[in-house]
A and B are shown apart, each in its own frame.
Chain A
Amino acid sequence: MSLAESGAAYTSVRYSPSRAGDTLEVRDLTRRFGERTVVDGVSFRVEPGQMTGFVGANGAGKTTTMRMIMGVLNQHGGTVLWNDQPIDSGARSRFGYMPEERGLYPKQRIADQLGYLGQLHGMQRSRALAQAHRLLERFGLGERAKDRLETLSLGNQQRVQVAAALLHDPVALVLDEPFSGLDPTAVDAMVGLLREYTARGVPVLFSSHQLDLIDRLCDALVVLDQGTVRLAGPVDQLRAARPEQYRLVCTTDAGWTRGQPGVEVIDLDANTAVVQPTNAQARDHLAREAAARGMIEFARLRPSLGELYREAIS
């Protein structure tokens, strides 16, 4: 999916437009509002071509962090790095941004305002309009380009908002809750679009409360809680770092798993137990024991990101 990880086999077969992306990084980002420290020394990286999920409870500081990345808000400490250098407004102007509180002109025609936004990003108006139509078309809104934004349903306005963020072919995407308010079809269309960008090496940071969606999409995860990073890194690593857990289903009550050497029972429900062996020996021993007691299933549990998240903030 990502060029950066694709290795030697892909170097001669570049996707078009060929572009390996840059890295977006925040280092020790801090922001106070009055006495309250809302973002406290937050550091993480958004690697090129990676879809990075940004999760945390309401008020955890996600939006504040994203606004600082985009320069809408000044930070009290720390830096935002683009391609290992402190970011400037020139680089930011080539980012795609979707603010938490959606922002477009309700009374203006859709095509007009997208054309205007494109112009502000330095595009020719004609090219901006062509691009806008292409994006609207993908969201099934091609017919409505001449309508005023406010005449659209909220979901459709949201799609226009997405189009506005992608219009100028951004080199990085910072999306605050891009999926909220979208129906499943639109979510799929959006996912498809975002995957195109990551395939080109664009780093994507998006926040969401929909953990299943994060699970499905993300290559990396950043968990924020009360202004600090609780968990950050590639999803594979985060999963691997977690103690192995297995689900054991027997023909009879699984209560016997308690008291086995080197095995912690996480959950027990009649014939089913979720267990966490401390080492391979304990696991193998448990498996043998189970086989003797009528084992139906002994399966490695792949922790969902939702579990990782809950664990991180608990």
Chain B
Amino acid sequence: MSHDTTNHSTAASHAAADEEQTASVPAPWLTVMNREIGVKLGDKAFVLSTVLTVLGIIGFTVFTFFMGERTTSYTVAATDDQSLAVVETARDAARPGTTIELESVTPEEARALLESEEIDAAVTRGDGEWVLTARTAMDGTLSGMLSDAARDVTAQQNAAEAGTTTEQLAVGSQVETRTLSDEPDRGVAANVLGFVFAMLFYTAAIIFGMAIANSVLEEKQNRVVEILATAIPVRHILYGKVAGNCVLAYAQIILYGAVGLLGVNVLGRAESVGWILEASGWFIGFFVVGFAAQASIWAVLGSLASRTEDLQSNTGPILSVLIAALLVGLFAKGTWLSVASYVPLVSSVAMPVRMLTDTVHWWEPWLALGLCAAFGLLMFRVGERIYQRAVFQGGQALTWRKALKLER
């Protein structure tokens, strides 16, 4: 489909004029993408919200730093002599800023104290293992200190009993963490990160999703799309918009991550956040796939609407899915979480959170990622079909079903 095809008698002068005039655009979607990014970067509200979020991240980092500097005090009950030794060891080894108070009680008293929240944890010597009990959730720092102490104490005892090999030294040093309530616990780390992951995914999906929908609708409403369609293939408009907003969303999350990391590095606490990086790696993978998977849905919604008000009603379903992802990130556990971790889009939050709390098989995140990608591809194909038809159909808001039956 060359521009220069002509069998006119003055073909020579034609070709000359053509060369001077226009080279065919190899990838028009790139031009669309660049505009999309340019327009968004020129949008004061967008820039302001990004700057505010960056300030928020800095503020939060500084806040947690000063909170960390404060003295934290734990009260721990020991129910027998061996446990007492563990708690004493932990107390003596406590870092500056952390203190442990010790109470020696019977197991029943320990339970009562836990229930009334007068103590943070109880240590019991069980059958060849240590049992740490908390009421609902075990504090990560405290758990770490007590576990270390328990290992030391066991090793000392085993050494005293003339064991010599490392294996013998470690016998009976397992630590089990329990909570009084039966419900599986998500732990503090999973709670905090779950919140962060869920919020990041949710806000990015909505901010950039709405941007895609509005930009499609703007072109539909103002009929620019008719002019664009005569210049380039219509589907390239869709590609460009989706690509542009993906690039922006990824750039934004990288910016947020970089600011957060820079913060902890400047404050010299980098060694304590290693575990965040590990969990975040997967989250970023899921974010990339999950965001792309839902981007084309927004483009469809924009093309189905005929006025801005239509977007308020037809974005309902996708918003529900995103809110579900948010809630899963905040609250889900157990079977719910396991199931959610395979549901496309929701998995973008659920699987990383699940990986923080449960042990998952190596293939599980890959499977969830694959499902999400497949879903995204399907949505993209359907979206392409609908978009190319609906975007020329002014007048009234359309439904997905109607739009699929349309002809251009």
- In the assembled complex, the Cα of A99 lies from the Cα of B222 at a distance in Å of 11
**Residue A97 contacts which of B2, B8, B226 (CB distance < 8 angstroms)?**
B226
Chain A residues with Cβ under 8 A from B67's Cβ?
none
Give the residues in chain A near B407, CB-CB below 8 Å.
74
* B35 neighbours in A (Cβ, 8 Å): 116
Q: Show 18 residue pairs from A and B whose CB-CB distance is below 8 angstroms, ordered by the A residue.
A: A22-B6, A22-B8, A72-B226, A72-B408, A73-B408, A74-B407, A74-B408, A89-B233, A102-B222, A103-B219, A103-B222, A105-B219, A106-B222, A116-B35, A119-B25, A120-B231, A122-B25, A168-B21
* Given A20-B9, A99-B226, 12 additional A-B pairs, CB 8 A: A71-B229, A83-B6, A90-B5, A93-B3, A94-B22, A95-B230, A101-B226, A103-B223, A104-B227, A121-B22, A121-B25, A122-B22
Residue in B17, B32, B224, B230 whose CB lies within 8 Å of A104: B224
Distance in angstroms between the alpha carbons of A109 and B31 in the assembled complex:
17
B1-53, CB < 8 A from A: 1-3, 5-10, 13-14, 17, 20-25, 28, 31-32, 35, 39
Give min CB distance, B46 to chain A, whole Å.
13
Chain B residues positioned under 8 Å from A126 (CB to CB): none
Residue tally, chain B, CB below 8 Å to A: 41
Q: Is A123 an interface residue (CB 8 A)?
A: yes
A117 to B14, CA, bound (A): 23
Most buried by B among A18, A71, A74, A93: A93
List, in ascending order, chain A residues with CB within 8 A of B13's CB: 18-20
Kindly state whether residue A290 has any CB partner on chain B within 8 Å.
no
Among the interface residues B5, B13, B21, B28, which one has the most CB atoms of the partner chain A within 10 A?
Answer: B21
Chain A CB within 8 A of B62 CB: no
Partner of A90, one of B24, B218, B219: B24
Q: Do the beta carbons of B1 and A168 come within 8 Å of each other?
A: no
Interface of A: prevailing SS: loop
* Cβ A117 vs Cβ B227 within 8 A: yes
User: Which residues does chain A contribute within 8 Å of B17, judged by CB atoms?
Assistant: 17-19
Residues on the A chain within 8 Å of B378, using CB: none
How far, in angstroms, from A106 to B223 measured CA to CA in the complex? 11
6 closest residue pairs by CB, A with B: A103-B223, A122-B22, A120-B231, A103-B224, A99-B226, A90-B1
Assess whether A151 is interfacial by the CB under 8 Å rule.
Answer: no
